[in-house]
Structure 1
Amino acid sequence: MTAALALLIYAAALLTAGPRLLKRLDWVDRAPRLGLAMWQAATASALISLALGGLVLVVPAIRDAGGLTHVLDACVTAMRDHYSGVSQPVGAVAGLLSSAGLVLWAGGHVIASLARAWWSKRAHLGALALVARPLPEKGIVVVEHAAPVAYCIPGRRSRIVLTTGTLDRLDGAQLSAVLEHEKAHLRGRHDIVRNVAVALARAFPRIRLFRDARLEIARLIELIADDSAVRRHDRAVVAAALVSVAAGPVPAAALGAGSTALLTRVRRLLNPARPLSRAARGINAMGIALLLALPLGLAANPAIVAIFERHCPVG
């Protein structure tokens, strides 16, 4: 079995079985940062595997070292043999084109998504400059509107936006909890995390892994922000604050406190599960590392075998 075939089989297995396996993980809500990393690692691992699957087809087309010593020529020849299995140069051209196409397609969607978000944020900030009034705390503005709404606009000119309805509806502790929730989004740059997931789901709309990752990542970043608010405020206060601002509309470029999976989040706040143990965190962190390392290991395995043969001077 060639390295390219192994990578493609691994990617296919991850793309088909990955969503079901990830959704069965019962610890994700107890450690949302780790869960977020797991979903990100799974999508990255699938893309890396597909890209490397094309690139390893190029290795057999590498020519001998020419001006280098015969020892190195033999090493290159051995490495080409271990990566062989597809006729050349057809395999090399097909592999290079497929890898480049995948990277350009996915990368183009990510760049376009980030660009759209940047323009949307810029336009919204321009509108806020005309209608909003600043609060004494830097970076927080208030808009005249009866509905209770709270959201943040991330970026270099980040803003937390509240409506007068929010100020009227929430008491001091609840308002502070909402602000801490939004500040967590700003600190974590959750807008970038969300936009990348949205871009990959748009790039590969028929692939369930990317569709599910978009939804789960949007939910998990809200859980992360909820946990940040809970570290400073009572759980009941945070839950009540989220419910109060849940009905208000949130701009597409913004992250709102009550905008995603509200019922599940309120239940989680009021009935907290036991935190994940240190050992369980370590095991799952190793799983994340394995997801990222496995494609690289599959791609490099023939080269490692060649290096340790007597043809290569380092073996």
Structure 2
Amino acid sequence: MTAVTALLGYAVLLGAFGPRLLRARGWTERAPRLGVLAWQTAGASVLGAVILAGLILAVPIVEAPHALSDLLAACRLMLRVHYESAPQPIAGYTGILVSGAILLWTAGHIVAAFGTTAIQRRRHARALAMVARRHVDLDALVVEYDQPLAYCVPGRHRCVVLSTGALEHLDEEQVSAVLAHEHAHLAGRHHLAINTAMAFGRAFPGVPLLRAARSEVPRLLELLADDVAARQHDRVTLAAALVTVANGRTPAMALGAGGGTALLRVRRLLAPHDPLSRTERLTGGVGIALLAALPLALAANPAITALLERHCHFPG
């Protein structure tokens, strides 16, 4: 039960205080790729800890035997202890029920999130096929629309869409910068991370960490796409382009250069933070590895302890 308590305590603490830790000192804005990985790993770590706690209740730990006969006897003993005593069946069935329910609930929301956006993208692709024209030089689709608009549609029918208003208000270099931003989304498959974050947040809206990730992951991916575009184009040029397309209404299943965070991103482009140092990146990587490994370590600790007690004999 110690491992179960530790896993549940870890899940509660990370789920409640994780957003404060991940937002501390704005380090994710200085390294958005690392930030996205941290948010997603932390969310998976919370869910994994609860699932492992349920499995531990269902699978009691026994000492590792030396021989085959001991192994068979231990298995028989484990089954008897697990099913003949009164408290164990309740705890075991509860653990299986909780773990299975979380897995199915999460998987259902993931399938729904990816399935819904896939259907929306197919419908949008059919609509674009009727109203848009391909601009060969830009490798983009152009739609007749007065308002400056730029977005990309990921997935099987991936494409970048520009409005005629965007082409009229942006100069050639600004158009190239916007296209670089959108191609960064497509190349990085950012929609996968966004759909996963949305699915986790919708499945467990009461968990502060998962709820906050629904807005933080898309925001950080926009910063990441800005950084990729800024390596190829002048930051001032990109910032000016973002201001122009900031008010464009992007379809729900698409990723756009504008949006509600555009003005904040413009400030970041014009007054960029120093990137994380190599030591800070290494520290962040170690922290993410710990988030992934700690639930497994807590769950495996009773089995490792039993194995060492049985096989490692230390002189008294």
TM-score, structure 2 length as denominator? 0.91
**Equivalent AA in structure 1 for residue 179 of structure 2:** L
Which residue is 2:307 aligned to?
A: 307
Structure 1 Cα separation of the partners of residues 253 and 86 of structure 2: 46
In the alignment, the residues of structure 2 paired with residue 284 and residue 86 of structure 1 have an alpha-carbon distance, to the nearest angstrom, of: 46
1 CA distance for matches of 2:298 and 2:308? 16
Give the distance between the partners of 2:88 and 2:255, measured in 1 at CA: 50
Secondary structure of the structure 2 residue equivalent to 1:152 = strand
CA distance in structure 2 between the aligned counterparts of 1:260 and 1:49, rounded to whole angstroms:
34
- The 1:253–1:237 alpha-carbon spacing in structure 2 relative to 1, beyond 3 Å, is same
C-alpha RMSD of the superposition: 2.6
Residue 57 (structure 1) aligns with: 57
1:17-56 to structure 2, matched below 5 A, reads 17-56=17-56
When the two structures are aligned, how many residues end up with a matched partner?
A: 308
After TM superposition, give the deviation of residue 192 of structure 1 in Å. Answer: 1.4
Secondary structure of 1:161's counterpart equals strand
AA aligned to 1:159 is C
Give the whole-Å Cα distance in 1 for the aligned partners of 2:86 and 2:269. Answer: 55
| 1:107 and 2:107 are equivalent in the alignment | yes
> Would the aligned equivalents of 2:61 and 2:303 in 1 still touch at CA under 8 Å?
no
Partner of 1:90: 90
Is 1:4 aligned to residue 4 of structure 2? yes
Question: Which residue identity is paired with 1:104?
Answer: L
CA displacement at 1:68 relative to structure 2:
3.8
Gaps of 5+ in 2: none
Runs of 5+ unmatched residues, structure 1:
none
- Answer yes or no: is the 8 Å Cα contact 1:75–1:311 preserved in 2: no
1:177 alignment partner in structure 2: 177
| Partner in structure 1 of residue 211 of structure 2 | 211
Does the alignment pair 1:251 with 2:276? no
Instruction: Please give the TM-score of this superposition, normalised by the length of structure 1.
Output: 0.92
- Aligned to 2:287, what secondary structure does the other structure show? helix
Q: CA deviation at 1:238?
A: 0.5
Is the contact between residue 33 and residue 220 of structure 2 (CA under 8 Å) also seen in structure 1?
Answer: yes
Task: Specify the SS of the correspondent of 2:136.
Answer: coil
Aligned to 2:227: 227
Q: CA deviation at 1:310?
A: 2.2
Aligned mates of 1:71, 1:312 — CA distance in 2: 18
Residue 265 of structure 2: aligned partner: 265
The one-letter code sitting in structure 2 at the alignment partner of 1:288 is I
Please state if 1:193 is matched with 2:164. no
Q: What SS class does the counterpart of residue 151 from structure 1 fall into?
A: strand
For 1:6 and 1:44, the matched residues in 2 are separated by: 17
Which whole-Å CA distance do the structure 2 matches of 1:128 and 1:4 have between them? 52
Q: Tell me the secondary structure at the aligned position of residue 142 of structure 1.
A: strand
How far apart, CA to CA, are the structure 2 residues paired with 1:243 and 1:303?
A: 57
Q: Which residue of 2 aligns with 1:15?
A: 15
Q: Offset at 1:25?
A: 3.9
Cα distance in 2 for partners of 1:77, 1:185 equals 55
TM-aligned CA deviation for residue 71 of structure 1: 5.0
- CA deviation string 1:106-165 (max 9, x = no partner): 110011010000000000000000000001148510001111100000012201000111
SS of alignment partner, residue 69 of structure 1: helix
Deviation of 1:312 (Å): 8.8
Match of 2:279 in 1: 279
After TM superposition, the structure 1 stretch with the greater mean CA deviation from structure 2, 138-147 or 166-175, is 138-147
| Distance of 2:306 and 2:251 partners within structure 1 | 55
Aligned 8 A contact 1:43 1:209 in 2: yes
Give identity over the alignment, percent: 52
Contact 2:181-2:257 within 8 A present in 1 as well: yes
What does the per-residue CA deviation read over 1:36-83, in whole Å, with 9 as the maximum and x for residues that have no partner? 111111101000001101001111289x99x942156449969x99xx
Partner of 2:132: 132
Kept in 1, the 8 Å contact 2:58–2:91? The answer is yes
Q: Could you say if the C-alpha distance between residues 33 and 234 of structure 1 is closer, same or farther in structure 2, counting changes exceeding 3 Å?
A: same
